[in-house]
Structures are given as structure tokens and as C-alpha cells.
Chain A
Amino acid sequence: MSKMVTKCDDKVIKNPKTPCLNFVHYALGLKELQGKEKENADYLLEVYRKRPKEGCTLVYLCKGTSCLSSGEATLKDKFDEILEKENLTGKVQIMETGCRGFCEMGPLVEIFPAKIFYCQVKPEDVERIVKETILEGKIIDDLLFEGLADPDEIPFYKKQVRRVLENSGLIDAENINEAVANNAYKGLQKALELRPEDVINEVKKSGLRGRGGGGFPTGRKWEITRANKSDVKYLICNADEGDPGAFMDRSILESDPHKLIEGMIIAAYAIGANYGYVYVRAEYPLAVQRLTLAIQQAKQAGLLGKNILNSGFDFDLEIVQGAGAFVCGEETALIASIEGKRGMPSVKPPYPAQKGLFGKPTNVNNVETFANVPLILRNGADWFKEVGTENSTGTKIFALTGKVKHTGLVEVPMGITIREIVFDIGGGMPEGKEFKAVQTGGPSGGCIPAEYLDLPIDYESLKGIGAMMGSGGLVVLDNETCMVNFAKFFLTFTQEESCGKCIPCREGTKRMLEILERITKGQGELEDINRLETLATVIKSTSACGLGMSAPNPVLSTLKYFKEEYLAHIEDKKCPAGSCKYFISYHILPTCRGCTLCARVCPVNAISGERKQVHVIDQDKCIKCGQCYEKCPWNCIAKG
């Protein structure tokens, strides 16, 4: 059977990669269709909106990076095979989508119109799904998440407010038809009917602030760039998501790239730019691939390029791939990188809004910021403000990871508490683990200890307790995470990524790192705490760019809330979390049964002993990896 998409218009569309322009323009209300063609287009709209006519089933497979690596591809093949065998190819349509967010439970399969959500589906489950669920309408209990079939009832989704992610996991990111059937480019149409100044006013009124971490009011930023007169202006999207532990931007690019494109066109129209760049990390190949395709499709549909939707406005968009440098997340460094130079920040002023890319006024926003813009124009600033707090409106996407039961991508209203995110949405701590803190804002942010679990999160509240919103990484830490070691981890990162241009950052972070290394090796002294604090203050106040100014934050915030751990390392020569290798040693107890398992798992052959005899660890060879400790079935290895 020919795929359903071909039904739209036999003359035009042959595969989703070349969009049916009649359909796109019909969905946007720009074109009338007649007779058979209209019938087909209406049918297709219903399918893409997940309300197919009777006798037709849609199977949505999540094709985000996580589900792909958990085996989505084999699942697709298996579905194709079984559907063909059962002669169902005409009645069941397989739809592959971008990231649905519940990465922990992937691969995910969702069935419409019945709305049944299956997780951790294995190829051998496919036959049952087809036979029992699709043919007989029965729900397979063991594939449900805790017995819940409707995803909206699953705690992970229930407390979320999915606005930016409204289509994520529910449309095929590689098919513009599905995007336009689900409201894409409606905001752009509204924007083009307004004067650019009015677009800016609407965004200002919405209270949208930069989602990359800084929290600068977006409308205000646009206004400044608009006010600078120039023959050429540029618009840049910062998709150089470098914070370790964050993947919001990747997910938007992979699941709904048209949201970003639409937001960028609106921004370009508002500030008067005709050329834009998306600066994406090269580490995100799938995101690059999907965005490239989406740009191509938008061009074909007349949504990018000359005279967009007959408005007389021209805008073109190009992708530039980053080459791996965290500092390029800083806007002046990013601009240098697009110009083909070393990505080093420059002194501000002049700000990019005055003198940016190739010396022209330039506006830089991040992916999530742009992705909020179509929603504001489509639904109005008042709708946008319905959610959130007074000074932080709308929603924020967080990448919930670390020691929490359900990791994944969550979009929540500003003002939600950490407790709700970690314990309601994330399902709390894994068995036997105790909550210690969450880390937000990556290497520029700080820790939020248990005492602030009920603090409503917004830009100001987080700043007030020494953390920051950051781009949205939210890493949960448990009692096994050593806070000194954790601060060292971030400082190692910033130290490596420091571009070296200014001395406080280049030398200062190195000295701080050396002190932390000493402390974790048991060579710390009490004075080191003062030294760390002094260095941190100097680096924060004298560095040239955001990287240096925020680099000491992880140290300062752990010192503030977990000073006793630093003191334990320095005075008692102990690591309370039992994670700093220097303070641990492993010993085999006399109860050893000589099963030889420990000797076999030891990566450095430090364990010796005869079969059925007590084994011994050579302390000089031992690298303290703890594998023997983890593996011993009889608990005969002591850690101390």
C-alpha cells in the first residue's frame, strides 16, 4: 500500500522529504483546495492531529537520540515486518517522532487514537502489540508505566506544562506537513500582520527572558538591536549547548525544529535582520541533520528566503557547526567562531547589538528562547503570562538527570519547587539513596541543598541562594556524591575550557583546582578554605567574560552549604561520601570463599589468591575502582 502521506496529492508529494506545498499552504489557510484534493488534505490533517478515521491506527515511535540508542531502529523494522505479515500495512501507520522526553523509559511507543503509552519496548514485544493492542484493542499491562495507559496520567508528564515541547514526540521532526498541521508558523503569520515594533512590544509584554541562563528580557534585547541603524543586521541562534548535563536545546532541535525556525523568522522581522545563523555543536549530529532538513523544507514552502508569505520580508538561515569549545556559548566568542577565528570573547561594550558579527548589529538568543516566541505571537502575551511567577513568566525546560528514578526532559511552569520536580515528576530517589542536593546551571551554577526543596524556582530566587537558572541542567545528587570532588569536577571542566585570554580565569581557576586536588588527596590545610574564597572573589569580579565570572560558583556554593565536607577532608582526612579515592582502601575479609570473581573483574590484576582460598588485594597496584566491591556476591570486601 502506498503510504498515507501520498494520499494528499498524488501529483505533488511522493515522500515527506519533499513537502506537499499545496498541503502546507492549505494548512496555513493560504490556499483553497477543491474536490478530491481537499478531501485528502482534510484526511491528512486529521491523521497528523492524531484523530484518524475509524479503522486506522497510528503507532508513534520515539526517535530521539536516547531511544535510538536504546534500539528504536530495530523496533521500526520489526513493526514493518509484522504489519506486513498480518496484512495491516494499509490500516496502521508508523510515525517516527522526535524526543518525547521520558528518556529513561525508552524506547517509547504510543498508540493513537486510543492513546496508549508503552515503555521499554523490546523487538519481541512488537508482535504482541500488533496482535493484542492494535487488532483486539487490549492493553498490555506489563508494557505500561506503573499500570497507566494514558501518558497524561503518568506522574512524569502530569505535572509538566508542555508548551515549547507541545509537539515534541508527537510529530515527525523530518516532515513539515506534520508541523503545520499542528500550528507551526501560525505565530509567524500573526507577526507579519503586525508592525515590527508591535511584535517587540508583544514580546516585551509577555515578560519572556533569555532561557540560556542570563535571563535578560528578550523584547528589550530586540529593541536595542532594532534601534541600531545599519544596512545589514544579523540574527544568531546559540545552539552551542555546552553545559555538561543539559540537553534541552538538542531535544528541541531533534523533535520540533520548525519552532526554532519560526521563532527566528519572527525575531529577524522584529529587529530588521535578513540573515541568520544557527550555531550548533558538532557533537549533535542528529540535531544538525534534522535542522538542515527543516530549513530546506521551510525554504521550499516559502517560509524562508525572499518575500516570506508575500510580506515583502526576506530572511535566510544557515547552520554553522561549532567545533567543541565551551566558551563559544558566550556571545562574543560565538561571533568570533562564526567568523572562523579562535572563539575568544571580546570586551563589552561594544555589545553585539551595536557591533557584532562582521562588525554589524547582531542579536543573539538561545534555542529555547526562540522556541517560546511563536507561542507568544500565536496565543498572545497575556496567555503566556498565565503561567509562571511575576518576574519569570512562562515555562522552563529542565534536563533532569543524575541520581533520580526517572531521568528525562521536563517542561515546568516557573515557580515550581525542586521537590515537585525531583519527587513528583522524577519519581524521587532510587532505592536506598538519600537526597543531598540538586545542581543547576552546570559549571556556572551552584548546588541547592535539601533545605531549599520547597523554594519556588525562578531567576531571582535561584540567584538569591547562590545557584542560577543556567540553561536548565538539573542534576540530582545523593549521599554518595562527594561535594568537594563535585566542585573539583566542574573546576576541571572550566579550567580546560578557559580560553586563556584573561589572567584571572586562566591562572585563577588553575590555582583553585590545585587547592581542590590537594584537599581530595588528603593534603589540604585549613587556610585553603580562605584561599579558595579569596581567589573565587577575585576571579568573579575581574574576569572578562561570563565563563570566568561564574567559574567559581560551584566551589562557593558547596563551601556555603557543605563546608563540613571540606573540613572532613582537611581535618579528619575522611571523605564522608566515600567517593574520594585517596581516602578509601579495599580489603578482602577472612570470610572470602575464593570464588575468584574479584580477581577476574579487577582491571589491573591487583587481586591474587588460589581457588577456594582467601584472596588478597595488592594495595600498591589497586586503583580503587571499586569493581571488586561491587561484584563480590558474598559481601566479603570491605571499603574503608
Chain B
Amino acid sequence: MTTKRIDLTPIKNFFAEHPGLKRNNLIMILQKVQELYGYLPEEVIDFISEEIKVPKAKIYGVATFYSQFRLEPQGKYVINICNGTACHVKGAPSLVDEVEGILGIKSGQTTPDGLFTLETVNCIGACGLAPAVVINDKIYGKVTPEKIAELVNQLKAGEK
């Protein structure tokens, strides 16, 4: 886990701006934390636990239940390959193979330099464009192994 100290100011500000947050707002709060920090840092979970009076174990229970939440930081570029039914039959697995080959990581992992995270998602609802890939919120449709290789290599080159 990270040894860097986490700045609690953003989450404190959020609580100050939204008084009256309760237990049933937990998912929304965690979504906000992830938006602010990119993942759910332990220190922030401690803080939330105090604020809304919910045991840490319960918060981890929720955080690990939903696929959206991450307990570790992600790469600068998050490559999300859709593996919904339509994308699957139109070749999403070969896109995963391609990116795994280029980056040398498996799906769900982040490159050691912290640049790329590779993930698969169970349908983003862009089935008309299958196979679809999302790189940092931008959707690419009808992606081929060559096209994704080009995209990844471009991003890699841009970082050098």
C-alpha cells in the first residue's frame, strides 16, 4: 500500500459543504472519494467512519462489494475493454490479449510505472459499436487489435 500521506482537506471540505450526510449516503460518499482521490485511501475511510458513525468493517464490506470501487491507485490511463455479450462475440478477448501483450500486465493490473491500468467491464451499453473500449472516459467503437495497439502506443510515446 501507499506510504504517501493523504491530504484529508478535499474530503473534509466535501463534508462541510454537505451537512447531514448519513449511513444511507455511503455509496455516494465513496463515489465522491474516488472522484477526489482516484481510489479509496485507508486514511479517508477512517475519516468517513468517524463522520457517519459506521464501523470501518462495514465500509470495507460495501467498498469491496461493488466493482466500481478500488482500494489502490490506478494508472494515469485506464484502459477499459468492454466484454459485454455483443463485444465478446465481436472479438473483445483478442483486444485484451493485445493490450496484455503490449503492456506486460494482466487485466486488473497496473503497470509498474503507474501509467496504465487494464480492466474489463461487463457492458457499457455501446453495443452498437462493438467491440468498444473506454480510455479515461472516452469511448472508442469498432476497435480492432491494430487500432488499440496504435492507441496504446501513442499514449506510451506521449509519455516519453
Contacts and interface: CB of A to CB of B under 8 A. Distances in A.
Nearest to A241: B125
Interface stretch (A167-175, A195-203, A332-340, A388-396): A332-340
B86 A402 contact: yes
B66 A325 contact: yes
Contacts of A106: 128
B85 interface: yes
Interface stretch (B11-19, B71-79, B94-102, B109-117): B94-102
A152 to B, nearest CB: 20
B130 A401 contact: yes
A609 to B, nearest CB: 19
Interface in B128-157: 128-130, 132, 137-141, 145-146, 149
Interface in A302-325: 320-325
B124 interface: yes
Contacts of A401: 85-86, 127-128, 130
Given A244-B123, A627-B94, A66 B141 contact: yes
Contacts of A241: 125
Interface string A209-253: 000000000000000000000000000000001111111001000
Interface stretch (A38-46, A281-289, A521-529, A536-544): A281-289
B97 A104 contact: no
A471 to B, nearest CB: 11
Nearest to A358: B24
Given A244-B122, A603-B98, A627-B94, A343 B66 contact: yes
B112 to A, nearest CB: 20
A323 B126 contact: no
A340 B128 contact: no
A282 B28 CA distance: 11
A477 B22 CA distance: 47
Given A323-B66, A324-B66, A337-B27, A283 B89 contact: no
Contacts of B124: 283
A103 B146 CA distance: 23
Contacts of B94: 625-627
Nearest to A284: B125
A68 B139 contact: yes
B61 A342 contact: yes
A625 B98 contact: yes
A93 interface: no
Contacts of B28: 320-321, 340
Given A340-B24, A401-B130, A626-B94, A69 B125 contact: no
A608 interface: no
Interface magnitude class on chain A: 35 or more
A357 to B, nearest CB: 9
A342 B65 contact: yes
Nearest to A344: B65
B90 interface: yes
Contacts of A250: 125
Interface in B34-73: 61-62, 65-69
Contacts of B90: 402-403
B139 A402 contact: no
Contacts of B101: 603-604, 623
A341 interface: yes
B106 interface: no
B26 interface: yes
Contacts of A481: 89
Contact of A625 (B25, B97, B122, B129): B97
Contacts of A439: 85
A407 B67 contact: no
A442 interface: yes
Given A69-B140, A325-B67, A339-B24, A603 B97 contact: yes
Interface magnitude class on chain B: 35 or more
A272 interface: no
Contact of A283 (B30, B65, B85, B121): B121
A372 to B, nearest CB: 20
Interface in A404-448: 407-409, 439, 442
A69 B141 contact: yes
Contacts of A402: 85-86, 89-90, 130
A245 B126 contact: no
A402 B90 CA distance: 7
Nearest to A442: B85
Nearest to B140: A69
Contacts of B66: 322-325, 343
Nearest to A319: B28
A70 interface: yes
A587 to B, nearest CB: 19
Contacts of B141: 66, 69-70
Given A65-B139, A442-B85, A475-B86, A70 B129 contact: yes
Contacts of A285: 137
Nearest to A605: B101
A325 B123 contact: no
B127 A247 contact: yes
B97 A103 contact: no
A341 B62 contact: yes
A639 B130 CA distance: 25
A120 B128 CA distance: 13
A399 interface: yes
A241 to B, nearest CB: 7
B31 A321 contact: yes
Contacts of A242: 122-123
A473 B85 CA distance: 9
A326 interface: yes
A342 B126 contact: no
Contacts of A340: 22-28, 62
Contacts of A246: 123, 125, 127
B81 to A, nearest CB: 13
Contact of A245 (B31, B97, B127, B137): B127
Contact of B86 (A407, A486, A623, A626): A407
Given A339-B24, A340-B24, A604-B101, A66 B89 contact: no
Given A475-B86, A603-B101, A323 B27 contact: yes
Contact of A475 (B25, B89, B139, B140): B89
Nearest to A480: B89
Contacts of A627: 94, 98, 145
**Which of B85, B97, B121, B126 neighbours the largest number of chain A CB atoms within 10 Å of its CB?**
B85
Which 3 interchain pairs have the tightest Cβ spacing? A103-B128, A603-B101, A245-B85
Interface of A: 65-66, 68-70, 103-104, 106, 241-247, 250, 282-285, 320-326, 337-343, 358, 399, 401-403, 407-409, 439, 442, 473, 475, 477, 481, 486, 489-490, 493, 496-497, 499, 601, 603-604, 623, 625-627
Given A66-B128, A245-B123, A320-B28, 18 more contacts: A65-B125, A66-B126, A70-B129, A70-B141, A103-B127, A104-B128, A106-B128, A241-B125, A244-B83, A244-B84, A247-B126, A283-B121, A320-B27, A339-B23, A342-B65, A407-B127, A408-B128, A626-B94
20 contacts: A244-B86, A244-B123, A245-B84, A247-B128, A250-B125, A282-B68, A283-B124, A320-B27, A324-B68, A325-B66, A325-B67, A326-B122, A340-B24, A340-B62, A402-B90, A439-B85, A475-B86, A601-B145, A603-B145, A627-B94
